A and B are shown apart, each in its own frame.
Chain A
Amino acid sequence: MRGLERRDVMLLVIVAVMTLFAPIILNPFPANSAMAQFNAGYPDLMQRFVIFGIFAIGFNILFGLTGYLSFGHAAFLGVGSYSAVWMFKLLGFNIIPAILLSVVVAGLFSVVIGYISLRRSGIYFSILTLAFAQMSFALAYSVLGNPALINLTNGETGLQVYPSDPQVLHGASAPNVTNLFGLEMRQTCEVKLGGTASGLSGCDTHMLPGAFGETFWAFDFNAGYYVCAVLMLIVFYLSIRIFRSPFGMMLRAVKSNQQRLNYTGLNPRPYTLAAFVISGMYAGLAGGLMASMDPLAGAERMQWTASGEVVLMTILGGAGTLIGPVLGAGFIKYFENIFSKINDGVLHSWFAFMPEGLENLFVTLLHPFVGKGWHLTLGILFMLVVIFLPGGLVEGGQRIGRFAFRRRNRKGGEAEAEAARKQPAE
């Protein structure tokens, strides 16, 4: 395929199949079973999987390749969200102009911030990006949301679309929710597999009724999710191309030894700036998509904890690897939404086969780590990954794979993880 090696084509195809069939893959448990609460295949969460996937892929182009650790990437996501909502307010609910503008505005922002921040490297770069992001957050939260001055962000309330907004391109027949030329983002078709017949509406279908008795599976195919998924596949393809291009090689050179690059007579700054802007645009796209799924934008999306989250995702999945950030994003979002649902009741039902005392002991031991304590588990996991698996989950998978197949020959994938482990720019 276009400019890709076979290995990358394989990866792309696997990712494509996984994303396109995600509504099925993520819903492995029958909808009327006790395990149904661990189904992650509902539209809202699936959209978040791919949107944060895009965000992390973009972050990885900067951090994974050049080693510049930005602690302010959420600013671009927030800016993207705000510009998208402004497009909804001014033009109408079609998502195309919104997404385009969010990418462009985030790109412009990242040119300015990147141009200034990239004059320094190492910890100073991290602090500079952090400072810029916190500044944007503070401004969006207070000044730019002040109705007396210029109300760009609507402050604490968050930016929303009101019926009184101009929406000049909004046709009379166009739906009043975010849409792609009439296809509503919230439109969901449920496919029911097995079970007894029930009331169906719209595009819902029922397959193999009664084939599994009462048990049935429900798969939600959501329009918004597929829009996000297709965009994610496109940007994932782009990121593979960047990783394999001479430009990507240049960025890796920045990571491994910037000084040597200088002595060779090359100025690394245009390359790092380009990487910064690209990753900023990815973040803007993610922000725009987030607003397209739910036309709201708030300042808290820009806070530094949000920037920290994308750092967690990328590192956890495997910085500098292609698939790592997507895995990390999915992992953390799954944790946040599903793992946090495990409460004491669920634990008790899991350990019900044990004697009473032992059961209570296990529940008490596990209690701090599940449910509301999922952040603790995540923090511990993150530390373990940084300490023992600098290549993240991807490296973990490779190690397990190597252990299982006893393959001693060094493959390209490992070399990639090796490069990711190298010194970042100092």
Chain B
Amino acid sequence: MDAVILQFLNGLDKGSAYALIALGLTLIFGTLGVVNFAHGALFMIGAFCAVTMSRLLSLSHQVVDETRTDFLGNPMKVDVPYVNDWFGEATGALIIDWAVPISILLAIPVMLLVGIVMERGLIKHFYKRPHADQILVTFGLAIVLQEIIKQVYGANPIPTPAPEAFRGSLDFGVMLGFDPYTITYPYWRLVYFAFSVIIIGAVFAFLQFTTFGMVVRAGMADRETVGLLGIDIDRRFTLMFGLAAIVAGLAGVMYTPINSPNYHMGMDFLVLSFVVVVVGGMGSLPGAVAAGFLLGILQSFASMNWIKDIIPGIDQIIIYLVAILILLTRPRGLLGRKGVMEE
């Protein structure tokens, strides 16, 4: 029983990342009808926003500390971050420690800008072109973005730790009455899960309860009629692209403590996110979220030892296997709308 709960929890954080990326992909597909292969790159850019922010925050200058001496007997030079000068030592240290959550402030405008530039500059010209062309051009863009990041930040993963308060693990088993240390779960993964639930809730609330969201939903259902009503639907869809980019970027920012960001993390997630979208149903937002969590948890269960003993290698292929089965038996995906990219 404890193993089942543990795997369930383990599946949640991976599922959260899948769900967030798939949500963005579906937003783009549902509004603009574009298959965006560069979405993984947006996730990666988000992660590197966190890297940039933590580097910016720890920018420092050298100060000669007269009280201490180095091994040669000269006065020691100490690196003092600028934030320490501005906010005092304690606050400065706290700010540096909290670099990852603070990066959200940087990631939102950056991702919005990247998203809008991408849509206006490139994707706009591909609405009328076939899906294969859209896949190809965004695939090319993904390569370019990935290479730029590689040139700027190097090819090695960059460790970006979580704030001190969230390192360590929660002994979840004790709360449920199991022995101590049977079910432990890192705090940051809980934070990630909670964060993704909040983001997903916010996106749905935005679409459901605001006028803007209502217009966007109307546009998703029938773009032409909304246009005929005198609403500039293109502008709103562009903003939705920016929103999708923000969702992917924030997913990336918060993911950095779980996995050190490297330049190909986007591509690694992209393939799986596409599978998630297809399983959930192209163009269905709840489907994308549900499928994201479902596949994350499924993958985590498949990597349990006794299952691997029965079917070796199942943890590697389970997601693809499920995707193939779903595509063949239920072409529109789990929660897909009727008639969306369905023959």
Contacts and interface: CB of A to CB of B under 8 A. Distances in A.
Contacts of A119: 328
A119 B140 CA distance: 27
A120 interface: yes
A139 B313 contact: yes
Contact of B320 (A131, A141, A424): A131
A135 B322 CA distance: 11
Nearest to A69: B132
A380 interface: yes
Contacts of B174: none
A360 interface: no
B341 A124 contact: yes
A399 to B, nearest CB: 19
A42 to B, nearest CB: 27
Contacts of A426: 130-131
B132 A139 contact: no
Given A124-B278, A127-B274, A143-B313, A315 B136 contact: yes
B26 to A, nearest CB: 13
B312 A383 contact: no
A123 B131 contact: yes
B66 interface: no
A130 interface: yes
Contacts of A387: 122, 125, 137
Contact of B143 (A134, A142, A143, A375): A375
- Taking residues whose C-beta sits less than 8 angstroms from the other chain, chain B's interface range is 35 or more
B131 A383 contact: no
Interface in A370-410: 373, 375-376, 378-380, 382-383, 386-387, 390
A423 interface: yes
Given A128-B324, A128-B327, A130-B271, A123 B317 contact: no
Contacts of A373: 147, 151
Given A123-B35, A127-B278, A139-B313, A378 B327 contact: no
Nearest to A139: B313
B327 A124 contact: yes
Nearest to B343: A121
Interface in A33-82: 67, 69
Contacts of B147: 373, 375-376, 379
A378 B139 CA distance: 12
Given A143-B313, A424-B130, A382 B140 contact: yes
A311 interface: yes
Nearest to A131: B320
A209 interface: no
A104 interface: no
B135 interface: yes
A308 interface: yes
Contacts of B343: 120-121
Nearest to A127: B278
A305 B35 CA distance: 18
Nearest to A121: B343
Contacts of A188: none
A119 B324 CA distance: 11
Contacts of A124: 278, 327, 331, 341
Contacts of A424: 130-132
A142 B144 contact: no
Given A380-B140, A382-B140, 8 more contacts: A69-B136, A120-B327, A124-B278, A131-B323, A134-B317, A375-B150, A376-B144, A424-B131
25 contacts: A67-B132, A69-B132, A69-B136, A121-B343, A123-B135, A124-B327, A130-B274, A131-B275, A131-B320, A131-B323, A138-B313, A146-B312, A149-B312, A308-B139, A315-B136, A375-B150, A376-B143, A376-B144, A378-B143, A379-B140, A379-B143, A379-B144, A379-B146, A387-B125, A390-B133
Interface of A: 67, 69, 116, 119-124, 126-128, 130-132, 134-135, 138-139, 141-143, 146, 149, 304-305, 308, 311, 315, 368, 373, 375-376, 378-380, 382-383, 386-387, 390, 423-424, 426
Interface of B: 35, 122, 125, 130-133, 135-137, 139-141, 143-144, 146-148, 150-151, 267, 271, 274-275, 278, 282, 312-313, 316-317, 320-321, 323-324, 327-328, 331, 341, 343
Give me the 8 closest cross-chain CB pairs, A-B, nearest first.
A143-B313, A138-B316, A379-B143, A383-B140, A376-B147, A131-B320, A379-B144, A382-B140
